[in-house]
Amino acid sequence: MVLSITLLAAVYSSALPVPKIIIPHPAAGASFTLYGSFSPGGWGTTSSSISQPGPTLTVQPGESVSLTLFSADGRPHQFCVDYESTPDYVCQGSELATQSPMFTSSTAGTTFPFNAPTTPGTYTYFCTIHRSAMTGQFIVSATPPTPDFSISSNPTSMTVQQGSSVISTVTLTSLNGFSGPLTLSTNAQSSGLAWSLKPTAVTLTSGATVTSVLTVNASTTGPTGAYRPGGYEAVASQVGPYQAVVTATNGTLTHTATVTVNVTSSNANAPISGYLLDIGAAAIIAAIALIGILWYRGSRRRTKP
Ligand SMILES: [Cu+2]
């Protein structure tokens, strides 16, 4: 009995300083596409956005990194991360783990996976062949990036004729592991022009994208226009550029996308032809009335002996 209590006490006391189990942040892995070029010198995320230094690559300590490498100028290049604070542009020692195969294709990407260093810091990536002419920052960040989302529209500018409608697809993308519901809304609309979103509530999961469709309707609305025989004239959407603003929010984070809507005239003679139709209808009514009067007068003449 005494022994068991002693044993229990021993177990408890040894367990008292609760061992801190550090659960590493689940790094999803970082993927980058890089186009290397000596002339013009530098790196870019596309073949047409080469700059020196190239884009900054930010990763988490020990994160698995996947590069897709292209040669924008067709020359052979080779990616490597320099760990020296003053880069020597020599891929050596532990840096060799970050050395990609040689890549020369501008169309077929060379995939190269490696693990980021576990020590946070700002390092330099470079081309082992063109050295200081092709560099960029490689940042190992201790703080995981804040979950966020982005919003974009396609197309960002569109033309619609009076009387018809067009759509733009709004895409919401989860960034840095963001997940949760988002509420979508649009700005106020001009008279005669209507836009709406479907759906207005979406849920993003980590790393995923969802879409909503913005429909812009430039058909006539009303009846708020001028009075005409038969009722109030519907208001035609006014020709001109408009800005449809789509706002997405989760209550804390808010992002917007703007779609420019150009309303063009469907028919320059539309109001005139409308009047002509009215004149035509009036003429038919007048003709019927005239026939009626003539028939009445004729029938009266016939009934007189
Ligand atoms: Cu190179």
Residues 6+ apart with CB under 8 A from 5: none
Answer yes or no: do 116 and 167 share one domain. Answer: no
The answer to whether residue 242 is domain-embedded is yes
Answer yes or no: do 136 and 158 share one domain. Answer: no
Answer yes or no: do 130 and 153 share one domain. Answer: no
Q: Ligand 1: distance of its center to the CA of 55 in Å?
A: 15
Answer yes or no: do 174 and 116 share one domain. Answer: no
The answer to whether residue 292 is domain-embedded is no
Q: Ligand 1: distance of its center to the CA of 77 in Å?
A: 4
Q: Ligand 1: distance of its center to the CA of 60 in Å?
A: 26
Answer yes or no: do 109 and 161 share one domain. Answer: no
Answer yes or no: do 155 and 115 share one domain. Answer: no
Q: For the ranges 18-27, 28-37, 103-112, which has the lowest average pLDDT?
A: 18-27
Q: What is the pLDDT of residue 18?
A: 43
Q: Ligand 1: distance of its center to the CA of 140 in Å?
A: 23
DSSP codes joined into one string, the chain: -HHHHHHHHHHHHHHSS-----PPP----EEEEEEEEETTEEEESSTT--BSS-PPEEE-TT-EEEEEEEETTSS-B-EEEE-SSS------GGGGGGPPPPB--SSSPEEEEEEPPSS-EEEEEEETTTEEEEEEEEEE-SSPPPPEEEEEEESSEEEEETT-EEEEEEEEEEETT--EEEEEEE----TT-EEEEE-SEEEE-TT-EEEEEEEEE-S-B-S-S-EETTEEPPBPPPSEEEEEEEEEESSS-EEEEEEEEEEE-S-TTHHHHHHHHHHHHHHHHHHHHHHHHHHHHHHHHHH--
Q: Ligand 1: distance of its center to the CA of 29 in Å?
A: 25
16 pLDDT band (50/70/90 cuts)?
very low
Question: In CATH, what number is assigned to the domain containing residue 210?
Answer: 2.60.40.2310
Q: What is the pLDDT of residue 21?
A: 44
Q: Which residue has the higher pLDDT, 190 or 282?
A: 190
Q: Ligand 1: distance of its center to the CA of 142 in Å?
A: 30
The answer to whether residue 277 is domain-embedded is no
The answer to whether residue 64 is domain-embedded is yes
Q: Ligand 1: distance of its center to the CA of 38 in Å?
A: 6
Q: Which residue has the higher pLDDT, 174 or 190?
A: 174
Answer yes or no: do 124 and 195 share one domain. Answer: no
Answer yes or no: do 136 and 152 share one domain. Answer: no
Indicate the residue among 112, 140, 168 that finishes a domain. Answer: 140
Indicate the residue among 109, 124, 140 that finishes a domain. Answer: 140
190 CA to centre of own chain: 25
Q: Ligand 1: distance of its center to the CA of 95 in Å?
A: 17
DSSP codes joined into one string, 140-191: E-SSPPPPEEEEEEESSEEEEETT-EEEEEEEEEEETT--EEEEEEE----T
Q: Ligand 1: distance of its center to the CA of 117 in Å?
A: 23
* pLDDT per residue as tens digits for the range 38-51: 999 999 999 999 99
The answer to whether residue 206 is domain-embedded is yes
Q: Ligand 1: distance of its center to the CA of 166 in Å?
A: 46
Answer yes or no: do 204 and 162 share one domain. Answer: yes
Q: Ligand 1: distance of its center to the CA of 120 in Å?
A: 26
The answer to whether residue 298 is domain-embedded is no
Q: What is the pLDDT of residue 141?
A: 92
Tally of structural domains, the chain: 2
The answer to whether residue 286 is domain-embedded is no
137: left (phi over 0), alpha (psi -120 to 50) or beta: beta
* pLDDT per residue as tens digits for the range 186-245: 998 876 688 899 999 999 999 899 999 999 988 765 445 556 666 666 666 778 888 999
Q: For the ranges 122-126, 141-145, 229-233, which has the lowest average pLDDT?
A: 229-233
Answer yes or no: do 152 and 133 share one domain. Answer: no
Indicate the residue among 78, 107, 140 that finishes a domain. Answer: 140
Q: Ligand 1: distance of its center to the CA of 109 in Å?
A: 15
The answer to whether residue 300 is domain-embedded is no
Answer yes or no: do 48 and 117 share one domain. Answer: yes
By percentage, how much of the chain surpasses pLDDT 70? Answer: 73
Q: Ligand 1: distance of its center to the CA of 125 in Å?
A: 11
* pLDDT per residue as tens digits for the range 290-299: 666 677 777 7
Question: In CATH, what number is assigned to the domain containing residue 60?
Answer: 2.60.40.420
Answer yes or no: do 252 and 164 share one domain. Answer: yes
Q: Ligand 1: distance of its center to the CA of 42 in Å?
A: 8
Domain range enclosing 259: 148-264
